[in-house]
Structures are given as structure tokens and as C-alpha cells.
Structure 1
Amino acid sequence: MRFVLKDDALADKPAIEKIGAVRGMFTNAGQFQVIIGNEVPEFYNDFVQVSGLTGASKEDTKAAAKTHQNVVQRAVATLAEIFTPLLPAIIVGGLILGFRNILEGVQFGGSTIVEQSQFWSGVNAFLWLPGEAIFHFLPVGITWSITRKMGTTQILGIVLGITLVSPQLLNAYAVNSTAAADIPFWDFGFAQVNMIGYQAQVIPAMLAGFMLVYLERFFRKHIPQAVSMIFVPLFSLLPTILIAHVVLGPFGWWVGDGLSNIVNAGLTSSFSWLFGLAFGLLYAPVVITGLHHTTLAIDAQLISTYGSTNLWPMIALSNIAQGSATLAVAIAHRGNKQEEGISVPATISAYLGVTEPAMFGINLKYVYPFIAAIIGSGIAGMFVTIMGVRAYSIGVGGLPGILSIVGQYIGIFAIGMVIAVAIPFILTFVLRKVPALNKIEAVDEATGEIIDENDAPAPQPLATTIESPEFDRLYAPATGNVLPLTAVPDQVFAQNMMGEGFAVDPTEGRISSPVVGTVTAVFDTKHAIGIQMPNGLEVLVHMGLDTVALKGAPFTVHVQPGDAVQPGTRLAFMDIEAVKAAGYSPEVIVVITNSDQLAEFRLLTSGPHESGDPVAEAQTAALPETTPRPKAEPAL
């Protein structure tokens, strides 16, 4: 259950933990989330009766959660929402300018490619068209994105952006080389306003965009609806254009240059090594908070002021470092098909500049690869900063980032890439054996060896204790690969917050009962079914990860509360392809939600199994002597 509290500090966490239905709690994205077992529908109903409160939609909950963010968090979130829609264009522009950088800057036999070939000279000239459109006219995208984000008229944002980069204006790149007397101006008789463009400028465009938004909101409230279509755009747009060129543009340019000078001074000073080391170490942790979106604005401003940036090379290397650490984990856990499905694509993604899958899916889960990655990133960042490496453009991170590097520094940056690959890769294996840094795998402190269920190369034969009357069998609910919960890409299950159990990556959609028992709950969203065993253990069969959002669409349930079931009894059918098409993982989780009543739980095997195969055993803390243990075999 997700709660948005006015003050999280007032939540009595020890009292909440004592509630029998509660399996854990954590705070995320402004929401206080409480993990409940099988009885979440009943828990919710009881909560409504006791509190007098009713539930809200997921969207309303997210909106309310934003009120928990401080001014800085809200500002960063707004900045992220402005730049995120622009990223596809920025990435494409970075690739184009990076390719032009190769054509113009790299020499073969004493001359560049464009000097040797008329064809490539023509290609180079043609590619300047989209490159210029993306970066020189970036203010148009910024003002449009602001109006889109703030819910005002988007075409007015586009028009405003065009007025900042119109060909009638003196190009921003030509201002410094133009004598003051030669700068064109508008003459109003009593005042003159310089006709200066703001190509590639970020802050002037942002200031103008927000002024347009707030003027439109103001006039929309005070102008009658009958004439609003005429006067709201007029009174919003014209004053904004004028003030943008008289006040906001010059002020924003001054602020942008000041910010660029500060960053550039730090990265070119005698302490540049310290700046490079600190940025390399901290960039990945900053990505977790979302603050990294601010670097796009700084990079763009650096390029506008100096023609290149010394910040972007370190970002590209940080991406590579995260990918290298994930690659090391993939190799260490080779044979674990479930995790390979996450780690291999995440490695490729990070090497291409998108690190979130690697960071959140693998590195932060295990901790030690994340530490290895930021150390490697810090060393690589320090090296390229000391060597003065700069980039012509932004948007292309990871390995393709070398395309953006100024020609004379390409070789040095390549060495930095080797550092960002080698150090995190090696350190991941070293730090894996440090117990304090390994939060998932068990480390034998005496020998330093890893005790990790994920490393099991093949299914092991069933233990002989499976026949013991003191243990109850748990069977595979579906045909597919049996996995330990630690391999499940969901922190609630992987960290046993819901209890002990196992998972199956299914190859077929038929879901059967994993135990002998009675159905106690069928969730309204059909994605989960609760079963109580004769010994009192409560088992949850959870179909897919986060599939509650699908509202039952891919599931067909064949049981109802009160039905007696045994291993092999058909519980439900899950449309695996529909689950995947919706962007969710189809793992079937079997978890004992009242694991506090367990004396012992054992996963006896892993790997490929058929539905109904015995794969685990459980023993309750206190065995009732008079209760006979059923010896049912799978009813397939």
C-alpha cells in the first residue's frame, strides 16, 4: 500500500512493523510504501474503516508525492521534464557533429578526409544542416518544451523561440567579433535595443519561456473567454519577446557566461585533477537523484561560450564505467539466465550512454559493482581533466562519446576509455569478496569465497531430506527456469521483504498450485493468489512483476477462495507475451508471506524444470504433533 504522508517523520515505524500483515516498508519518490502479504485487500478495507480515508488513483498519488519534494528537488524535476523531450534531438545532433568532427579533424597522410574526397566534403557540408538546426536553434526546443510541460499554448513557445534565433538578428557566435558600433539595433526614438540572437543559449531561452507561461496563465484568468483567443496570445507573446531582448536575454547571457567561467576555471586550474576526480566519483550517485539533468544545461552553455566542453568527456567515461562493472557481474554470474537477461542488455545500454538499467538493475542491487564503477569513473575523469580533453558536442555518451571529442584529444580520451573499462571490471571482482560491500551474496569471511545461489551452474539433485515428514514440499507452479529470489529484479522480493520463496521464469502460461492447501485470496487484479497450507504457512503465488498495473488483462483465474488445491491444480493462465508486450517481467513468484513461522526453508534445485517438479521444502517453527502431513503427489 502506498501512502503520501504530510510528514514521513510522524510515521510510527516500530508500531507499523508490529502489525502482523506488514512485511516491510520503505520510502520512494515521495511515497511511504508498506509491504502487505496475501491479505492486502482485507487490510485496505480495514484501513478505510478505521481511518475514514479512501484510496486515490496512481496518478493522483504521484502528484501528491511531489508536494514532499523541496524547492531544489522540484526545480531539478522541472529541469528534467524540460530537457527529457529534447534528448532524442540532442543525441542525434551529437552523433552528426561527432561524425563531422572525424571528417574535418582526423588526418590521414597529412590531410583530412574532406580535403581528400569531394564526396565526403559534400556529406560534411550537408550534415551541417541538421547539426545547426539542433544546437544553434536549441532555444526553440527549450521554449516549446517549457510550454508543453507547464500546459500552456505550445505554438506560442515555438514562436518565442524563433524570435530568439531569427536570421534578422546578429548571430550569437558573431557578437564577440563584431565591433559595438556595427551591432544592429531597433531604434524606438527614446531607446535603442540591440538585435542580438541567442543561438545555443540555454538560460535566456528558459527565462523567456517561463515568463511567457506565467503571462499566459495570468491573462487567461483575467480576460473574458469570448475574446481570450485574440488577446491572451497577444498580451502574452509581445511583452515576452520585448522583455526577452531588453532584459532576460542579456541577463541570462551574463549568468550563463558566469556559470561557464566558474566550471571551466575549476576544470582548467591547478586543482583540475581534484575537480575531475570529484566529478567522476559523484556523477553516478547524482544520477540516482536526477540532478544530473542540470549538466545538460551547463554543457550546452560551455559549448556556447567556449566552443567546446570539458565536462561531457567525464560523463561519457562514467557511462562506460557503469557498463564495465555490470559486465563483470554478468561474467561472475554466468549461467544465471534470469540475470543475464538483465545484465547483458544493461551493459550494452551503458556502453551506449544510458546507465539507468545497469545502475538500478544490477550495480546498486549488489553495491560492490557500483562502488567499483564510481572509483573507475573518478580515476578516468581525473586523467582526462588533467590532460585537458574537451568535446565539441554533447548527447552521445558511453563508447560513442569519442566521436564528440576534439580531434587532438581523441587518442588521450581513448586511454581514458581503457581506464574506465579496466578498473571497474577488475575492482568488481576484488570488491565482491568484501563483506561490507556485498549486500546480496554471502561471503565466507574466513576464505573470502562467495556463497551465492546465483552462481549455481546447473540444477542439483534433490536432497534426501525431501522425504522427511517434518518438511513440506513446494512444487514448480509453471514450466521454466527455477530461480532463487535474489535473482528477481525487484527489491521487495529479492531482499525477502515478502518472505522466503523462489521464482520461475515461465516458458508456458499455465500456472498451477505449488502446494497442498486452500485458496484464501484471489486479487481483484488477478495477478496474485493466496493459499494457506495445512501447517499454517501462507503462500502467495504472484504472476509477473508490477503486473498489478495491468488490472487483470493478461490473466484468467480458475479458482476462488475456499477451493482446495494440491500441486498441479490449475490456478490461472497468464498470457506471457501480453505481459512482455506491456513492458513487464513474467516471473512467477512463490513466497511464504508468514516466514516468521518457518524453522527452515530450502531451495533444493534451480534451472529448467517442468510444472509440478518438487523444488523446495519448508519446515514450520513448531510442528503440531497431531496434524498429519499430506503426501499428495502432483495432479497433472
Structure 2
Amino acid sequence: MTTQDSARAILEHVGGAVNVASLHHCSTRLRFTLADDTQADEAALKATPGVIGVVLGTQTQVIVGSGVANYFREIEKLRTGGGTRAEARVDAAKPKLTLKRAGSVFMDFVVGVFTPIIPAVAGAGIFKSFLILAVALGWLQTTDQTYQVLTAIPDAVFFFLPLLVTYTAAKKLDTNIPLALGIVGLLVFPTFAGLLTQEGGVALFGLTVPAIAYSAQVFPPILAVLLLAVVERGARRISPSVISTFLVPLICFVVVAPATIFLLGPLGFFLGTLLTGAMLWLYGTLGWIAVALMAAALPFIVSVGMHKAFIPPTVATMASAGKESFYLVASLAHNLAEAGSSLAIAVRTKNKTLRGTAISSGISAFFGITEPALYGVTLQNRRAVISVVIGAFVGGSYLGIAAISAFALVSPGAASISMFIDMANPWNLLHAVIGALVAMVTSFIVSLVIWKDSDSATVRLLEQQAGTSTPVGEPVAGGIVAPMTGEVIALAEVDDPVFSGGILGPGVAIRPTDGEVRAPISGTVSSLLPSRHALGILGDDGLEVLVHVGLDTVRLEGAPFTAHVAQGDRVEAGQHVLTADLAAIEAAGLDITTPVVVLNGDAYDVAPLVTGRVAAGAALLSTDAKETANGIA
């Protein structure tokens, strides 16, 4: 049976195209969200050639191995029929909502909506700061046409910020993006804005329309798109298919647009004003103490991913006031404190591996990227934590007392220091530089004084590894090396029936302690999906190994993962291939346990070589080719 035939059979056994609400895939599984789960025929699916296993639950998962992309393409062709995708007849089953899951869903939504727009907002802010600098140096005048045209570029980004948020929110909620832009576009349409500001205002059906300036607002479009997602799905259910092309958007315009004008727009504006006011109140009430305390708390806030919760009010504050004096200022102190602590540890430690990590992490933090320092050095060593907290608090105190403001939404550091340029206050940039140096020097001195290798968990672990591990990058003959550092557990202990049941093949799992992922064998990268959560390598001797970082991490759509290789690349055992943000995965409510599986295990005798702690690059599994009556299997 061909892949196309198997794909057709799989689609039939899940209830047909009309029963499929959505279909996604990870490295080995087709993930169906079905309108009616009872229509999935588990026995028939398992009997389909090419299907390795089936898992039923909130999603129907059909495991087909490394050829999953081919099955996905064939099923999508059958579903779409060369045109419009069939709509499910009833709602797909929803997973049980718990407080933990609700928090994860909320954070995922915040990240999905606001993170994509940060490059545009950050770039516009930095661009405007350079224009301000050009004016301060006398290169441009605010009355010059050149300046006026150039300043219109970043100003346009903030003016049309509601549309940027509309796009990302509609994409996140999987609703019609052009329709969402059409409805929310009303809020920034010049004619509509003119009606609101005319003398006496304007009324709709005799009701006065609230006169609100919606440019640069972020919460009104989010609320509008949330309602649109509900209305659009309902309209599709009741609309006859022959007229749904125009009837569905018509219903959406009739329902969502007035609701946005009278209710959601004003409510979103109030919410934005409330959050902005809360941050300004905290800063205004506690003053420089608020900045200092935030800076000192950021190592712990960032470590659990909760710093993402500050993005919406910070964006709202920046959009409405043109500057922000709390979170971004505190972040400057924290980032430079991370740099100072890491660089001091590089000076003090006698461990060469830690020194290399500390140097690279310190440089990265100096330029505004703290994750390598935070997860690679700080959080693993209490003395490093102490030095960062002290440095961040002292630096944050100076910045708070000097009343520094940021004028661009970007991670503060040496590379983005222009974000503190203020045309009305030249001292703002100078005080920002001084405060950053105060934070960095303080943490450097404290770390230099209190650091002890003998009290470092990182050094102890590295020394243990040095005595028991195979050097990173050196292949283990006839076997597989550990792709990550952590604790080895049996596959049977993995909280996923596909892995624990050995459906994909034999192996072990690792509960990792850091996010660096290395190649388990030498060979060719045979599978690397856009989600970057899993990597398959085909060895030179035919051995095929899958490293699946975390459980169900395909849902994160690649956000916590960075790939250092591409599909088809040649890799050597121990080579750095992926980086995973373990804290972000856990903050999303997911398990970081990483299965390491031999996909063609029926041809090999696979046995674990280690239990308990293992270092990346150390021997993990032995793999001996099985012999058959005709020779090697």
C-alpha cells in the first residue's frame, strides 16, 4: 500500500474529512482534533499499513514515524479537495480546564499576540531615538521636511498598532485575518475618527458613540478579535455553504462592529488605561524603590516565564505615553547585573568549562540577552544569584532616583542603549549609562568577593562529569551518546503512552538540567520540523535515532527552540544541534522529559549503559545489530 493509500485509509478511519476540525503533526505523529471522537476506529487505524500506533484522548494521535510529513501532505490534499477545507459539524472536544491550564493558555495567548509585534515596535523606537540624536547633534532640525518624513516612519507603527495586534491575535485564534483587520480598521479610519471628534460627537441608532482615540491602543483590538472568533465560528455553523462566502462576514460585521464601537472599544481602552495607571501608580507611590525591587526580582520572574505578563501593560504604556519608566528601566539594571556577575565568575573560577560559559553568557547579557547567563550560570549557583540581586537592586536604585525613562520597547543593553535618548532631557541617556555601569560593577565586585568554586553546584557537576563522561563530540563506538545533561529514566516512566509503551522503539529518557541538545550519533539529520522540538538522525550504519525534547512540545510552535543545524546536514556525535529554553517549556505547563528512541529498534539490540546522572556526550545506549538467518538484520 502506498503512502497515498494509507493516508486515505487513515482519514476514513477517523471519520472522514467532515469529522476533522484541525490537523497538525510533530516529528512522528498526526494529531487530529475531531468533531466527534467516537468516530475514530482505533482497531482499523492500527491495522492500516504504515501506522505504528494510535493514542486516543483530547487529540487522536496516529503515529506513523519519520515519514509523518508525507502522510500529512497527502491527508491535507484529501481534506481540502483542491479547494475549501471541510468544516467540522460540531465542536471538537476540549481538554478539561484547570487553573494551571488556564494560566498556561493565558500566557501562551499573551506571548502569541505580543511577541510577534515587538520587532516592529522595537525597531520603530530605536529608529526614532536615532532621529532624536541627530536633532540633538544638529544634523537635523524638527522643521526640516527630511526629519518630518523620516519621523513619520516610526510614528506610523504606533498609530497603526491596533492593526498589528489585530493581525497577531487573529492568527493566534485562527480566525479570518482580513475580516478582523476590516472590522478593527474602523477604529483608526480617519473618517470615523473625524466623526468622533466633531463638535457634538456622533450617534448610531440614536446612541452616542464614545469619543475615544484608538490609535496606539492594544486592548480594544484584542477584545474585538476574541468576539469575532466566536461569532465567525457560530456563523459558519448556521450559514448554508452556498452563501457562506458573503453571509458569514456579513454576520460578523453586523454583530462585531457595533459591539466594538459601543462596548469592546471603550472596555479595552479602560483596561489599557487601568493597567498603565497601575504601573504608573506603583512607580509614583514607591518611586525609585519600585524600580529597585523589580530589578532585584527579575531573575526569579524571568526564570518562570512570568516576565511575559509585563509585555501588555508595557506596550500600552509606551504607546500611550511614548515612554516607560518602570519595567524596561528595571530590566536594564538586571541585564547588566547578570553580565557583571558572569564575567566575575569567569575571572574567579578555575573550571575551564564554566569559565567559557560565563564569558559568553556575560557578553550576551551585556548586549541585552540574559537567558544564557540566567540559565547557564546564575540560577545554578546561589552566590551568583546573590551578586545579581545586589547589583540589580543598587543599579535599579540609581536609575529610579534619576527618574530614567525608556523610549523604545526592546531588551535593554549596550546594543540598544539609544532607547534612552530623550530630546527634552539629555541627562536621561547619561544617567542610563551610569546606572547600567553601577549595576554591572556592583554585581562584578560582589561576585568577585563571594564566589567559591567549592560552593558551586555547576562546578561540582562538571567535575563529576569530567571523571565519568565521554568527551563531548567523541563518538561512542557501537552506541548512542546522551544528547542532554540530566537524569536518565526508563521509557516506561515517561508520561506519554507512545513513548512509555515502546510504540516508536526502544530507548531511554532524560530529565534535563540544561537546554543544550547534542547529536546522539554521527550521521545525517533526517527529520527537523519547523517546530524544532524534535530531531531525527540517520546514522552511517543505518541506525535511526529520535530526540524528542519535552512532551507535547509541538504545541509551542518552535518558540522555546533554536536549531543550529538543518534537515539534510551532516552531524557528528556530540555536536551542538539544538538549544531549548527549558524554563519556557515548564512555564507553558509542559513536561521537559526528553525521550531518546531508536526508531528502527527491531533491527538492533538496544540496552542502557547508564542510570542516574549523565552528561551530554557520555555513553548512553549500546546498539548491536541483530543477526538473522540471512546475516545481519
Instruction: Give the TM-score taking structure 2 as reference length.
Output: 0.60
CA shift, 1:480, in A, is 9.1
Match of 1:85 in 2: 116
Query: Do structure 1's residue 363 and structure 2's residue 378 form an aligned pair?
Result: yes
Counterparts of 1:529-608 in structure 2, within 5 Å, are: 542-543=520-521, 552-557=536-541, 575-576=570-571, 583=578, 593-594=610-611
1:592 Cα deviation (Å)?
5.1
Task: Select 1:149's aligned residue among 165, 168, 172.
Answer: 172
The alignment partner of 1:225 has SS state of: coil
Residues 1:137 and 2:137 are matched in the alignment:
no
Q: Deviations over 1:308-329 (max 9, x none)?
A: 2112222233222223333334
Distance 1:435 1:223, change over 3 A: farther
Query: 1:211-610, aligned counterparts within 5 Å?
Result: 211-269=227-285, 271-311=286-326, 312-332=328-348, 336=352, 342-405=357-420, 406-407=422-423, 408=425, 409-433=428-452, 438-442=456-460, 453=463, 479=474, 490-492=484-486, 542-543=520-521, 552-557=536-541, 575-576=570-571, 583=578, 593-594=610-611
Q: Are the aligned partners of 2:166 and 2:222 in contact in 1 as well (CA < 8 Å)?
A: yes
CA drift at 1:478:
6.2
Structure 1 residue ranges without an equivalent (≥5): 1-47, 443-450, 457-461, 463-472, 482-487, 500-521, 530-540, 561-573, 604-610, 617-636
**Partner secondary structure for residue 209 of structure 1:** helix
Aligned residue for 2:552? none
Residues 534-588 of structure 1 show CA distances to partners (whole Å, capped at 9, x for unaligned) of: xxxxxxx9448xx99666434223789xxxxxxxxxxxxx932799696369xx9
Aligned length: 450
Alignment-derived partner of residue 31 in structure 1: none
Aligned mates of 1:229, 1:335 — CA distance in 2: 66
Q: Can you list the C-alpha shifts for 1:250-297, whole angstroms capped at 9, x where unaligned?
A: 22222322222222122123x323312221122232222222122222
Do the aligned partners of residues 65 and 346 (structure 1) sit closer, same or farther apart at CA in structure 2, a change above 3 Å counting? farther
Supply the AA of the counterpart residue of 1:372.
S
Distance 1:74 1:584, change over 3 A: closer
Identity %: 20
The CA distance in 2 between the partners of 1:87 and 1:415, in whole Å, is 26
**In 2: Cα distance, 1:325 partner to 1:144 partner:** 40
Residue 183 of structure 2 is matched in structure 1 by: 160
* SS at 2:223 equivalent: helix
- Secondary structure of residue in 1 paired with 2:242: helix
Name the SS of the counterpart of 1:91 in structure 2: helix
Match of 1:606 in 2: none
Q: 1:213 to 1:329 in 2, by over 3 A?
A: farther
Does the 8 Å CA contact 1:101/1:404 hold for their aligned counterparts? no
Superposed CA deviations along residues 477-512 of structure 1, whole A, max 9, x for unmatched, are: 96599xxxxxx994416xxx579xxxxxxxxxxxxx
Partners of 2:437 and 2:608 lie apart in 1 by: 43
Q: Output one character per residue of 1:496-536: Cα deviation in whole Å (capped at 9) or x when no partner.
A: x579xxxxxxxxxxxxxxxxxxxxxx99789999xxxxxxx
Deviation of 1:142 (Å): 0.8
Distance 1:56 1:84, change over 3 A: farther
Cα distance, 1:594–1:313 mapped onto 2, change above 3 Å: closer
What is the alpha-carbon root mean square deviation over aligned residues?
A: 4.8
In structure 2, the partner of 1:633 is none
Cα deviation 1:410-468 (Å, max 9, x = unaligned): 111111110221122223333432977x32334xxxxxxxx974999xxxxx9xxxxxx
- Give unmatched runs, 5+ long, in structure 2: 1-51, 69-93, 477-481, 491-501, 510-518, 528-532, 545-568, 581-595, 597-606, 620-633
Taking a change above 3 Å as real, the CA distance of residues 71 and 430 of structure 1, as seen in their structure-2 partners, is farther
Distance 1:422 1:134 in 2: 37
Q: How far apart, in 1, do the equivalents of 2:345 and 2:463 lie?
A: 14
Q: CA deviation at 1:195?
A: 5.6
Structure 2: distance between partners of 1:369 and 1:71: 34
For the structure 1 residues 212 and 400, does the alpha-carbon distance in structure 2 shift closer, same or farther, using more than 3 Å as the test?
same
**Contact (CA 8 Å) 1:526, 1:557: kept in 2 or not?**
no
Aligned to 2:225: 209
Instruction: Tell me if the contact between 1:368 and 1:432 (Cα under 8 Å) persists in the aligned partners.
Output: yes
Secondary structure of residue in 2 paired with 1:152: coil
TM alignment of 1:56-95, pairs within 5 A: 69-95=100-126
Using a 3 Å threshold, how does the CA distance of structure 1 residues 394 and 65 change in structure 2: closer, same or farther? farther
Distance in 1, Cα, partners of 2:161 & 2:458: 45
With normalisation by structure 1, the TM-score equals: 0.59
Shift of 1:218: 2.0
Matched, 1:114 2:98: no
8 Å CA contact 1:334–1:455 kept in 2: the answer is no
Q: Counterpart of 1:553 in 2: which secondary structure? A: strand
